[in-house]
């Protein structure tokens, strides 16, 4: 089984592994399954948990290191550091694409542990869903996958193009936005990708959008009255104005 994610929790590491990635969360994925973050990571100590591209065994570019389950916000997540093969050209190109925010998504492949249909949960459980079937007669309401007594076995983690876990996407936006705010509070310039995540997070807030609309209207009104130099508002302009309101 596999599941695609997108999230980048930045952790100071070596040049070979510029950031840690969230490989799995306990959020509901597009297949309606919920992957409990109970993991058997024994393969990491024996044959390793390889980094592949799009789950292709021919495109092996490194190994996942320091795999662990962490609390991130209100979620549990499996996090790992990517170590890219230093003498593999494709691995080094992948590393550069990760550093440049060209590649943002991961997909983990695993053997499932305990499986419980969501329809078999207590109806008072917020994860309960009514039983449904697909066109082949198989359960379609989703499963709760993995448990402490029967954990999921991690096989490999790939870099992929498109994520499918909305919770992980939200974590990526939130973490990047927080890093941008932390950097500005220290007087530093945030990374471009983090600026974008901060702006995307702010743009989702109706109050922030309304404030920016009012500021733009005010700037244009002042320019219309004086016909001076056309204002060129920047992010800093809005932050200074927002702080004074």
Task: Convert the pLDDT of each residue in 106-146 to its tens digit.
Answer: 888 888 899 999 999 999 999 999 999 877 677 889 999 99
Helix (H) or strand (E) holding 155: strand 152-160
3-class SS of residue 109: strand
Indicate if the alpha-carbon torsion angle 30, 80, 41, 26 is positive or negative.
negative
Q: Where are the alpha helices (DSSP H) in 60-165?
A: 89-99
Q: For tokens 């492949």, what's the residue? A: 109
- Residue 61 has a pLDDT of 95
Q: Where are the alpha helices (DSSP H) in the chain?
A: 89-99, 166-185, 192-203, 206-226, 235-243
pLDDT at 39 exceeding the cut of 90: yes
Highest mean pLDDT among 9-13, 181-185, 207-211: 181-185
Closest by alpha carbon to 172, among 38, 2, 10, 3? 10
Q: How buried is residue 184: exposed, middle or buried, by Cβ count under 10 Å (0-12/13-18/19+)?
A: middle
- Do 43 and 153 form a contact (C-beta atoms < 8 A)? yes
Mean pLDDT, rounded, for 223-236 = 63
pLDDT digits (tens, 9 = 90+) for 60-95: 999 999 999 988 878 899 989 899 999 999 999 999
Mean pLDDT, rounded, for 184-191 = 73
* Residues present in the chain in total: 245
- Residue 138 has a pLDDT of 75
As a whole number of Å, the CA-based R_g of the chain is: 22
Higher model confidence: residue 223 or residue 33? Answer: 33
Average pLDDT, the chain: 77
Mean pLDDT, rounded, for 15-37 = 77
- Do 146 and 36 form a contact (C-beta atoms < 8 A)? yes
pLDDT digits (tens, 9 = 90+) for 200-216: 666 666 666 666 667 77
Tokens of 117: 């249909």
User: CA 20: distance to chain centroid?
Assistant: 11
Helix (H) or strand (E) holding 6: strand 2-6
Mean pLDDT, rounded, for 228-240 = 58
CA distance 32 to 130: 12
**Where do the domains of the chain lie?**
2-165, 184-243
């Amino acid at each position: 089984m596999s599941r695609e994610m997108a999230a980048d929790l930045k952790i100071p590491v070596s040049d070979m592994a510029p950031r840690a990635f969230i490989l799995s969360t306990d959020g509901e994925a597009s297949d309606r399954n919920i992957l409990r973050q109970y993991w058997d990571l024994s393969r990491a100590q024996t044959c390793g948990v390889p980094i592949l591209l799009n789950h292709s065994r021919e495109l092996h570019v490194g190994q996942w290191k320091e795999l662990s389950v962490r609390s991130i916000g209100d979620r549990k997540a499996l996090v790992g550091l990517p170590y890219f093969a230093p003498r593999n050209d494709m691995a080094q190109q992948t590393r550069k694409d990760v550093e440049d925010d060209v590649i943002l998504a991961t997909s983990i492949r695993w053997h499932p542990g305990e499986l419980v249909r969501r329809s078999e949960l207590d109806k008072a459980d917020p994860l309960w869903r009514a039983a449904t079937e697909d066109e082949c007669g198989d359960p379609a309401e989703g499963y709760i996958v993995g448990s402490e007594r029967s954990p999921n076995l991690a096989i490999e983690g790939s870099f992929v193009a498109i994520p499918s876990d909305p919770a992980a996407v939200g974590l990526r936006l939130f973490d990047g936005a927080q890093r941008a705010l932390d950097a500005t509070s220290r007087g530093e310039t945030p990374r471009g990708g983090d600026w974008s995540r901060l702006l995307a997070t702010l743009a989702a807030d109706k109050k922030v959008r309304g404030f920016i609309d009012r500021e733009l209207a005010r700037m244009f009104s002042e320019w219309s009255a004086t016909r001076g130099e056309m204002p060129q508002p920047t992010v800093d302009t809005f932050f200074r104005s927002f702080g004074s309101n």
